[in-house]
């Protein structure tokens, strides 16, 4: 058990933080939602009702989609774009999908390579892009969930303000949808840009996300 | 496993956004209100208003709800369609709309005698609260 916790500490730590943050968000969100309900002379919700509400769902989904977009984009863009001196970038002469030998696929697969790395054909093509496909799919599903839950929450607000509800197409062209979307995207893009450039000049001793402390600023693609 | 958790969470989000099964209840409440107006049973109509709508109505004339309602010419048109989003609902009438909200006691009318103004502005309502 202790060995399992040690070997999976990174994933378990962030999953635990996720749950704690979701609980905190739901408690704060419920308080804010019920406060607005009271001001409008409407009924308040219980904690369970709020967890199943479109208001909570859209707040969660809009953040999820932007996180998965960030990682999906980062995975794809770092195949082709580099940042000289950054541990977040690969070496400048390795731009592109790289050779089969470098990627250990096809005839270059090793005995301990994943099975689909050496099978060729569609399975190898899919497995070679499975991380990006999975992250990209979760991004699209989260964004879809945001649009559906967001429309429900928006329409509830519309009705409470004596206005007509909107269609799904009406909602995805609304300021509410794009405001929620872009306010999350801009923060993700800022964080990635900052990490890519800060990693050139700054260090975090012991972290694989940083170069070794003594590595030169010109060293690209080296992780500590 | 993680993909399963993510999928389940996304499915829960989508389900939470679906129009609830409250449409028949809203339609019944709206039709009862319109029926009371058509029958001139204004005390029944007053009983179907939300507390805030009733107080607003009484406040405008400093009289009782029934008297205040009798001074208005509310439409008794049939309900043509209903849409429900969360605990808010709209009943479209042949010539206007009612707005309702769900309370512990069931669906109550929060605005009546409403006419469309524009997509950007709220309906203009004779009774609202």
For the segment A12-67, what is each residue's pLDDT rounded down to a tens digit? Answer: 999 999 999 999 999 999 999 999 999 988 899 999 999 999 999 999 999 999 99
- CB contact B101 to A (< 8 Å): yes
pLDDT surpasses 70 at B7: no
For chain A, which residues lie within 8 Å of any Cβ of chain B, measuring from their own Cβ?
A: 41-43, 45, 52-58, 60-61, 134, 138, 141-142, 144-145, 148-149, 151-153, 155-156, 158-165
Terminal CA-to-CA distance of chain A, rounded, Å? 28
- Name B106's bridge partners: B103
* pLDDT band at residue B3 under the 50/70/90 scheme: low
Which of A212, A160, A208 lies closest to B90 in space, CA to CA?
Answer: A160
Q: Which two tokens stand for residue A10?
A: 């990174």
For the segment B10-53, what is each residue's pLDDT rounded down to a tens digit? Answer: 665 555 544 568 999 999 999 999 999 999 999 999 999 999 99
Which of B89, B36, B64, B29 lies closest to A43 in space, CA to CA?
Answer: B89
Give the span between the Cα atoms of A167 and A142, in whole angstroms. 19
* pLDDT band at residue B59 under the 50/70/90 scheme: confident
- C-alpha dihedral sign at A37, A42, A47, A53: negative
Among chain A residues, the shortest Cα distance to B123 is held by A162
Give the span between the Cα atoms of B113 and B119, in whole angstroms. 18
Number of A:B CB contacts under 8 A? 98
Q: Are B17 and A144 in contact (CB under 8 A)?
A: no
Give the span between the Cα atoms of B90 and A145, in whole angstroms. 24
Q: Are B128 and B51 in contact (CB under 8 A)?
A: no
Q: Which residues of A7-44 are buried (b: 16+ CB within 10 A; e: fewer)?
A: eeeeeeeeeeeeeeeeeeebeebbeebbeebeebbbbe
Q: What Rg do the C-alpha atoms of chain B give, in angstroms?
A: 18
- Predicted TM-score of the model (pTM): 0.88
- Name B127's bridge partners: B112
pLDDT surpasses 80 at B85: yes
Residues in chain B within 8 Å Cβ distance of A141:
6-7, 10
CA A56 to chain centre: 18
Residues of chain A with pLDDT under 70: 224
- C-alpha dihedral sign at A188, A190, A196, A202: negative
* pLDDT band at residue B73 under the 50/70/90 scheme: confident
Contact residues for B40 (Cβ-Cβ < 8 A; gap 6+) = none
* pLDDT band at residue B129 under the 50/70/90 scheme: confident
Give the minimum alpha-carbon distance from A56 to chain B in angstroms, rounded to a whole number.
9
Q: Which two tokens stand for residue A181?
A: 């979307």
- For B7, what's the count of Cα atoms within 13 Å in the CB-facing half-sphere? 6
**ipTM surpasses cut 0.90:** no
- Name B82's bridge partners: B91
List helix spans (H) across B1-129.
2-16, 23-38, 42-47, 51-61, 65-70
Among chain A residues, the shortest Cα distance to B112 is held by A162
Q: Are A78 and A71 in contact (CB under 8 A)?
A: no
Among chain A residues, the shortest Cα distance to B115 is held by A162
SS3 state at B111: strand
Q: Do A57 and B83 touch (CB under 8 A)?
A: no
């Amino acid at each position: 058990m202790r060995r399992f916790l040690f070997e999976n500490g990174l994933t378990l730590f962030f999953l635990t933080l996720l749950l704690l943050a979701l609980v905190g968000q739901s408690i704060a969100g419920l308080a804010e939602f019920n406060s607005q309900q009271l001001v409008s002379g409407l009924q308040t919700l219980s904690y369970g009702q709020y967890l199943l509400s479109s208001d909570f769902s859209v707040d969660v989904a809009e953040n999820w989609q932007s996180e998965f977009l960030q990682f999906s984009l980062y995975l794809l863009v770092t195949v082709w774009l580099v940042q000289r001196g950054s541990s977040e970038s690969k070496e400048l002469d390795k731009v592109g999908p790289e050779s089969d030998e470098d990627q250990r696929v096809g005839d270059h697969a090793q005995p301990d390579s994943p099975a689909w790395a050496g099978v060729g054909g569609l399975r190898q093509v899919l497995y070679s892009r499975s991380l990006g496909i999975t992250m990209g799919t979760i991004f699209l599903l989260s964004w879809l969930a945001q649009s559906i839950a967001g429309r429900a929450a928006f329409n509830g607000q519309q009705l409470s303000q004596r206005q007509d509800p909107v269609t799904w197409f009406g909602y995805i062209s609304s300021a509410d949808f794009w405001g929620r979307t872009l306010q999350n995207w801009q923060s993700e893009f800022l964080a990635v840009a900052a990490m890519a450039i800060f990693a050139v000049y700054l260090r975090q001793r012991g972290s694989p996300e940083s170069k070794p402390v003594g590595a030169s600023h010109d060293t690209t693609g080296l992780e500590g | 496993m993680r993909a399963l958790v993510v999928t389940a969470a996304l499915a829960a989000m989508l389900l939470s956004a679906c129009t609830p099964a409250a449409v028949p209840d809203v339609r019944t409440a709206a039709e009862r209100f319109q029926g009371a107006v058509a029958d001139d049973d204004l005390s029944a109509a007053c009983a179907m208003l939300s507390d805030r709508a009733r107080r607003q109505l009484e406040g405008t004339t400093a009289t009782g709800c029934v008297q205040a309602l009798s001074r208005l010419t509310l439409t008794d048109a049939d309900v043509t369609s209903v849409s429900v989003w969360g605990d808010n609902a709209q009943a479209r009438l042949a010539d206007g709309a009612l707005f309702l909200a769900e309370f512990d006691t069931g669906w109550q009318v929060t605005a009546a005698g409403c006419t469309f103004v524009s997509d950007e502005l709220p309906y203009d309502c004779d009774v609202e609260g």
